Chains A and B, each alone.
Chain A
Amino acid sequence: MARKDLLDIASLHREEIEFLLDQSTSFKKLFTRSVKKIPALEGKSVLMLFYEASTRTHSSFEVAAKRLSAEVTNFNIDHSSITKGESVRETIETLQAMRTDYIVVRHGHSGLPGMIARQTTASVINAGDGAHAHPTQALLDAFTIKEKFPDPRGKRVLIIGDILHSRVARSTSTLLQKLGVEVAYLGPGSLVPKYGPATIPRFTDYEAAMAWAPDVVYLLRVQLERQDVQFFPSVREYHRVYGITNTRLAEISDRGLYIMHPGPVNRGVELCDAVMDYERSLITNQVENGISVRMAVLDWLTPGGEFPRQEAYATPQRASSTVIMP
């Protein structure tokens, strides 16, 4: 059952997911001990390769690796420079030469962690690639939900916001569906694509979505910086139409719904300030659970294997001298 890489949720089997969530529970129990470190990954090296800045995910992985006694290195990336595939390729060659055991990678291009995984012997963990996948976020979301609903089958999660650009929406909804949770999307028509999975109901009206009777309301971060064109008229209008306003929070509270958010929160956009003090907000639980889930993932993966796994670019070009001339 051992895997080399964790690149997405779609390819994970249900048993693997259950196993990882169980392991996360065990790791979380360690947190109450005075010595939080265990020697599981002693002598192993974890390399952090973040082409997109992310304090939250980055530090969560770093803490997780250190609690497993791994050595953590940050590969410095100049975030102002263009990091296209070609420069990444040079980096991969360097990394392979360093024989690092794990690479935790985040990049704006979908599919790029997979490319690294094929070209190195290291275990590659996708910490978010473009609008494709964010598997550890999905695992920590599922873990957080299972803490409240030990048997989550049949529970309903309403994901609100920018579905089009969200790797969180894709991975979390895929994982929740694998666990028998029902998922629905709500957001502006320009950000909830019609060609998304047919098994996920799609709402553009808040009242209609609430009538679907969710147990959890999951707000996505509005990635204002990611939108190369305007998808909705204004942040104010977004908050009014799709956000959790004070009035809506009162209703959510009455109905006893949980609120989640992958962070960092745009206050006054996805949700009003009062949500931060709402007793059924699971936002800080998500952050805390991120560490144990990532420990479980690191502990589970097995670095090594053949190299190179894809020889495409290693093939030398045919010399032009072999071409027959008249």
Chain B
Amino acid sequence: MLLLQNTRIASENSPVLLESDVLIVEGKIQDIGSSLAIPEGARVIDARGRVLMPAMFDAHVHFRAPGFENKETITTGSEAAINGGVTGVVMMPNTRPALDSATAVDTVLENATHRSRIPVYTSGCVTKNREGKELAEIEGMRGLGVKMLTDDGDTTADPAVLLRAMQYATEFGMFFASHCEVSELAGPRALNEGVMSYRLGIKGSPACAEEIIIDRDIRLARAAGAHVHIQHVSSKLGMETIRWWKSRGDVKVTAEVTPHHLLFIDEHIGDYDTNYKMNPPLRTQADCDALLEGLIEGVFDLIATDHAPHTPFEKAQDFISAPNGITGLDTALVSLHHFFVEPGKFGWDLVVKRYSAEPRRLMGLPVAAIEVGQEANCVLFDTAAETTFTREFMKSKSQNTPFIDQTLKGRVDLVILGTEILLERE
């Protein structure tokens, strides 16, 4: 039994925080109200001023297992999630071997149940070994609960292959997540083509490389009657393309945006800082502004981190040799608070909707909410406290993030999932 006194409850439906006590009994929210009586044996936490919100759900993470356990494991990845107030994740299948069969998925999920304190879901590949040629054994993966199909990290280059996959898998109630990039245009270096790529002397990737595939994949989904989810959008015109298709209403399309594409631009790369090397690349301030606009408007259904760990050794190379990606789970919620909620750019309702409710809806999971009768799946967040993202603080095995050693406002104090207190910070 746990009684949280005088907390402020966040919900996706209201920008106003409801000040209240919350009583949790046997993993369920039993009562909400002011000045609730303290039941015998209950632990009481004075949560005055702190925000209680449904726990986050991240629909785009790389836990690197199997094959790259030196970067991350299911254990370290899920601990990073908990550290950031996230109690459920969907892994990407670009592992080695790639998750392109029931056998591979089964092994990973079996592992996940033993090695993680939160539910870990996985997506499956569209094509065998992510090569873009032959369809993966899609139905077999569905039998293990896979709903999302993606060759993330690469675009399924051949539109005929993707169209066939869409026609086939839609019959099983599965949907497609698209990493959008014409590889011939993008090149390997993950830097926006523009003033910065010119100054640094690195071949840039133009935004049109992304925009072409966003449009292509939505058109393919429309033709196949499929649901397509556009991953980690980075450009203004990409956002506008999705907005336009959504306004037509004749194709099921959802989309996500990452905290880092909302926060950083190519100029932050400065003197070849590899912590800002990611794919799709950071673009310009105009793109950044458009993404925020798209998030507030609902063009982006969800926020996902694309948590992409790499070892310090790999990232300490020169910019061209270093791999793409940054970690995001430890830092996402606090950074959203610090840069957006605190300055009043959007409210907690948007955070809850986009980073908790919608991702769970996308995956067909019950939505967490602070309501009587619901399972306790929540985060207590201190808006006045600060978090310093030291190496010790991070639970991810890798620490390739621009936030390293930064102090931001806000702190995840408590993470509760059912009967378990997964994290309690003091």
Give chain A's interface residues, CB within 8 Å of chain B: 10, 84-86, 88-89, 109-112, 114-115, 129-133, 167, 170, 193, 195-197, 310, 312-313, 315, 317-318, 320, 323-326
Contacts and interface: CB of A to CB of B under 8 A. Distances in A.
Contacts of B198: 170, 193, 195-197
A111 B271 CA distance: 8
A131 B317 contact: no
Contacts of A131: 201-203
B75 A110 contact: no
Task: Give the secondary structure class of B's interface.
Answer: loop
B258 to A, nearest CB: 23
Interface in B190-219: 193-195, 197-203
A229 to B, nearest CB: 8
A129 B75 contact: no
Contacts of B164: none
Contact of B317 (A86, A130, A195, A320): A86
B246 interface: no
Contacts of B314: 86
A109 B316 contact: no
A315 B318 contact: no
Interface residues of B, number: 34
Contact of A111 (B203, B272, B397): B272
A89 B322 CA distance: 12
A326 B78 CA distance: 12
B321 A313 contact: no
B315 interface: yes
B200 A111 contact: yes
Contacts of B420: 326
B406 to A, nearest CB: 15
Contacts of A170: 198-199, 201
Nearest to A315: B312
A128 to B, nearest CB: 10
A324 B317 contact: no
Given A88-B321, A318-B392, 13 more contacts: A85-B318, A89-B316, A114-B272, A130-B201, A195-B197, A312-B312, A315-B312, A317-B311, A317-B397, A318-B391, A320-B397, A324-B79, A326-B117
Contact of B397 (A88, A313, A315, A318): A318
A110 B202 contact: yes
Nearest to A132: B201
A168 to B, nearest CB: 11
Nearest to B316: A313
A85 B395 contact: no
A109 B321 contact: yes
B129 interface: no
B231 interface: no
Nearest to B391: A315
Contacts of A323: 75-76, 79, 395
